Amino acid sequence: MYQHSLQYRVLYADTDQMGYVYHGNYPKLYEAGRNEAIRALGLSYKELESIGIWMPVTQMEFKLLRPAFYDEVLTIITSIQVLPETKLNFYTEVYSQEDKLLNAGKISLAFVDANTKKSSAAPQVLLEKLLPYFTS
């Protein structure tokens, strides 16, 4: 399993009138976690696009358990629990400063050939970066 941790300080613009992080902003935090998890592997979405691979989100589900607040430092833990084939599943947990689980979710991204606009297998360059985390 591959796992990455990211610290994020909640901006005032992230909150709603009640002072909570607005529920519609969590996908943005999940995206930040995904981007930095891939970057920590030594890749970027931009590099994958440059070799002709697009990765659109195909499914998103998350459960809100507790609110997060302005100026709080959150920990976003993003994991890949299974080597990807034609889609990549990211599992995300967001924790408060007090290390309480605030929400958790799963985001699925498909691999699409940018030229044909058709489903594609996981790119070899990504598999090579992930493989060490999945061998005993």
State the pLDDT confidence band at 135, using cuts at 50, 70 and 90. Answer: confident
CA separation for the pair 112, 119 (Å, rounded): 5
Residue with tokens 């005032």: 12
Domain of 12 in residue numbering reads as: 2-134
**How far is it, in rounded angstroms, from Cα 35 to Cα 4?**
10
Prediction pTM value: 0.94
Indicate which CATH number applies to the domain containing 59.
3.10.129.10
Please tell me the total count of domains within the chain: 1
Instruction: Write out pLDDT tens, residues 19-75.
Output: 999 999 999 999 999 999 999 999 999 999 999 999 999 999 999 999 999 999 999
Q: DSSP per residue over 75-120, as a string?
A: EEEEEE-S--SSEEEEEEEEE-TT--EEEEEEEEEE-EETTT-SB-
- Say if CB 9 and CB 73 are below 8 A apart: yes
Backbone phi, psi, residue 133, to 5°? -80, -10
53-79 burial string, b = 16+ CB within 10 Å, else e? bbbeeeeeebeeeebbeeebebbbbbb
